[in-house]
Structure 1
Amino acid sequence: MRSARLAVLAIVLTALVAGAGLYYSLVYAYYDVLAGDDLPEISLISATTGEAEGIAVSEVQAIDSDSSPIRLRACFETPTPLDELAATYEVYENAVPLNAPGWFSCFDAKQLGAELEDGDAVAFLGTPNINYGIDRIVAITPAGNGYVWNQINACGDAKFNGDPLPEGCPTPPEGMN
């Protein structure tokens, strides 16, 4: 009877340790807090030239991971009025902010998504195809709060699903399956 209890206790403890390890790896282990030269340049695509142009930013906070091209999240402030940005830079349709770990509290994807849907924030194209099939998106609110994330675009969605590429997609890099 005693050995059965010890076996059950060992199984439960092993499950708890494994669960804690899995939770830690999903929420903390793969993210790096970025600082200094590692911070992403925050730029938008000019509506007239099609070129990336850096914008004035401050208070940048960012996290990223080498494990996936869509793990970048960043928050910042900009003094440039939203209406000026919207008149100058390429607006990004169908922007869908991706969740950030709960400990990265400046980035609330649910709230930002609602603001984008309601028109209270505007999403811009930051860098097209930063990796093949992945666009960098920059969203800004009227208060000057900004958010950055990488999002799979239509070309990436088709390529990653094994579907034919939509018209206008660049050729995938050699060796990309």
Structure 2
Amino acid sequence: MTGKLIGGLIVGFALIAGVSIYYLQVYAYYMTLAPEDVDIRLTSVALQEPEPIRTDAMAAIDSDSSPLRFRACFETPRSLAALTEQFVIYDAAEPLNAPNWFDCFDAETVGLALERGEAIAFLGERDIHDGVDRVVAVFDDGRAYAWHQLNETYQD
């Protein structure tokens, strides 16, 4: 009887720990940002400095626990042709997955669109955090997505 009780306690604690870790990773540290609190900027080819761009229909999340947790979905009225002439293109763009509850951001769809040339990635801001760049992918219809990813500083 004692062995069954101890085994049951171990399984119970393991289940509680697993559920807690899942909750902490997927929900606890994220915060939804108000549209006015998100400033999307792209790095200018001429000045090599980030410049703000107009955004509409902004939805964004972030976390203080990691600089890589930022994700944003928005629209921009700027044409893709005008953006490519004025801002730095980011060739190493690799969208990172967002939590499943933040359903406007689909990293797989954005990544495929970048590979197929249906979207173009721009350097938002280099080293927005130490070793982390903000990347912005823009589609021809004005849909746009932003995320943070490691730059060459911390990549092997």
Q: Same fold (TM over 0.5)?
A: yes
Aligned length: 156
Identify the structure with the greater strand proportion. 2
AA aligned to 2:128 is I
CA shift, 1:100, in A, is 0.8
Q: In the alignment, what sits opposite 1:149?
A: 147
Distance in 2, Cα, partners of 1:143 & 1:3: 66
For the pair 1:19 / 2:13, whether they are aligned, the reply is: no
Residue-by-residue CA offset, 1:22-49 (whole Å, 9 max, x unaligned): 1101111111111155x32111111222
* Amino acid in the other structure paired with 1:55: I
Give unpaired runs (5+ residues) of structure 1. Answer: 159-177
The alpha-carbon deviation at position 10 of structure 1 amounts to: 2.2
Corresponding letter in the other structure for 2:84? A
Q: Which residues in structure 2 correspond to 1:31-42 (within 5 Å)?
A: 31-37=30-36, 39-42=37-40
The question of whether the paired residues in 2 share the 8 Å contact of 1:132 and 1:156 is answered with no
Q: Distance in 1 between matches of 2:122 and 2:107?
A: 16
| Aligned partner of residue 136 in structure 1, secondary structure | strand
The amino acid that maps onto 1:10 is L
Tell me the residue number matched to 1:172.
Answer: none
* Larger Cα-atom Rg: 1
Long gaps (5+) in structure 2: none
Paired AA for residue 102 in structure 1 = N
Give the structure, 1 or 2, with the largest relative contact order (CA under 8 Å, sep 6 or more).
2
Runs (4 or more) in structure 1 with deviation over 4 Å come to none
> In the alignment, residue 136 of structure 1 is paired with which amino acid?
R
Root mean square deviation of aligned Cα: 1.5
Please tell me whether residue 118 in structure 1 is matched to residue 123 in structure 2. no
1:101 corresponding residue in structure 2:
99
For 1:44-123, list aligned pairs within 5 A: 44-123=42-121
